[in-house]
Amino acid sequence: MAPRLKVLGIAAGPRKGGNSDTLLQRALLGAESLGARTEEIYLSDFQVTPCTECNHCLTGGSCNVIDDFQPILGKILNADRVIFATPVFFMTVTAQAKLLIDRCQCLWVRRHRLHRPIIGRPGIERRAAVIAVGGSRGKKMFDSVRWTLETWLDALDMKYTAGLFVNRVDEPGAILNHREALAHATRLGRHLADPASRFPETPTNILLDE
């Protein structure tokens, strides 16, 4: 019997119940429908200080700054799948997201300079997906989001599998009227949580342009 996958949803928006958070919850429901164990965390609930570039991580691959980063990191490393959801602020991820990402420099060091493995369950390939919602008409606003998160996921030794990017959605709750986005989010969660899923070599990115 295939193991039940652990799916962690990370909501990076500063406002709970925002449009990106709503899509994340749909994705997690999709994952649960296939038996996955899911958890959602809100970065706004945690106090993560900026990376101080002290270079402590260069010697052991761990961060010397003790705050809420450590419990978040524990959840990430314990997950088989991660779904990261963010609104687009000034063409990139939120400040809350960037704080977490920068603090993961210690994992980049651990993997690429010290050549030490990132923790994971034996026999399970760790994968991730990205959800982003922007209010403008531009399509290029998701480029920075995708590049930033692809690099971050590489440091986590997680394969970036899929992205769902929705533009022209700005007002609170507006995503509830976007049936296509809700359906895609549910399918994304189901696909990630299905142990029998076959994943393409290159990520599947879906842009919904209203």
The half-sphere exposure of 171 on its side-chain side, counting CA atoms within 13 A, is 4
Render pLDDT for 119-143 as a digit per residue (tens, 0 to 9). 767 768 899 999 999 988 877 889 9
Question: Helix (H, G, I), strand (E, B), or coil: what is residue 166?
Answer: strand
Amino acid identity of residue 85, one-letter, is A
DSSP H/E element including 190: helix 179-193
Mean pLDDT of 40-46: 97
Does residue 21 have a pLDDT over 90? Answer: yes
d(CA 163, CA 70): 26
The half-sphere exposure of 18 on its side-chain side, counting CA atoms within 13 A, is 22
d(CA 1, CA 177): 39
Render pLDDT for 22-33 as a digit per residue (tens, 0 to 9). 999 999 999 999
Backbone angles phi, psi at 15, to 5 degrees: -115, 120
CA R_g for the chain: 16
CATH topology of domain 6-195: Rossmann fold (3.40.50)
DSSP H/E element including 150: helix 141-155
Strands lying side by side in the sheet with 6-11: 37-42, 6-11, 81-87, 127-133, 159-167, 204-209
d(CA 44, CA 46): 5
Least reliable range by pLDDT among 47-61, 77-91, 109-123, 127-141: 109-123
Mean pLDDT of 56-70: 93
Q: What is the pLDDT of residue 1?
A: 58
Domain ranges of the chain: 6-195
